[in-house]
Amino acid sequence: YNTPAEEILSAGHHGVMLSNGPGDPADNPFCIQQIQKLFGKLPMFGICLGHQMICKAAGSDIEKLKFGHRGGNHPVMNLLTGRVEITAQNHGFGLVFPSLGELVPELSGGFKGHEDDLRFWARAGIAPVVDNPRFGRIRLTHVNLNDGTAEGIQLLDHPAFSVQYHPEAAAGPHDAAYLFDRFVDLMKTSKEENRNA
């Protein structure tokens, strides 16, 4: 949490995993600044608090949820596949998706305005994309089907993605285990691109 981005970059790592943890992501300004420095330089995968930190680094608002997400059996729709994942969760804060930027209509099914209840995108079968003023295009990838909150994003112009829930929950459901394969593939692709550059 307190390692400078320069030290991470000089160590020759292939990617950065931002793990889950307790608390309000706004209490970690140093970490947020380091994540901003890492965007585009190393593949990143964020889980729970790590997801919130990636979102904060991209300039989003994070809100305290009226009812936190605790325990197992939270249905989350993957907007890219249409598949519903049964997830384990433990958090009290969430991403305010519209705060990441304006919708890109041509990448959001022609829609121009944000929806308060993100289940709209699940019903429409669309993974909407916003234009972030600092980091480019960001796609909403996962939505909580219980309360319509954001559960995952993907930076389209940088090798980074994150989810709000816990795909690593060993004793819980394994529906989201594919995310770790996706991160490994992202690191392999990035390493290959750097080798050919």
Write out the catalytic residue numbers.
48, 166, 168
Long-range contacts at 110-114 (CB < 8 A, ≥ 24 apart)? none
55/152 Cα distance (integer angstroms):
10
Cα 27 from chain centroid?
A: 19
Q: Do residues 149 and 118 lie in contact, with contact meaning Cβ atoms separated by under 8 Å?
A: yes
Q: Radius of gyration over alpha carbons of the chain, in Å?
A: 16
Which of 62, 132, 74 is closest to 103 using CA atoms?
132
Q: Maximum distance among all alpha carbons in the chain?
A: 48
Which residues pair with residue 22 across a beta bridge? Answer: none
- In degrees rounded to 5, what are phi and psi of residue 94? -150, 155
Which of 67, 110, 93 is closest to 151 using CA atoms?
93
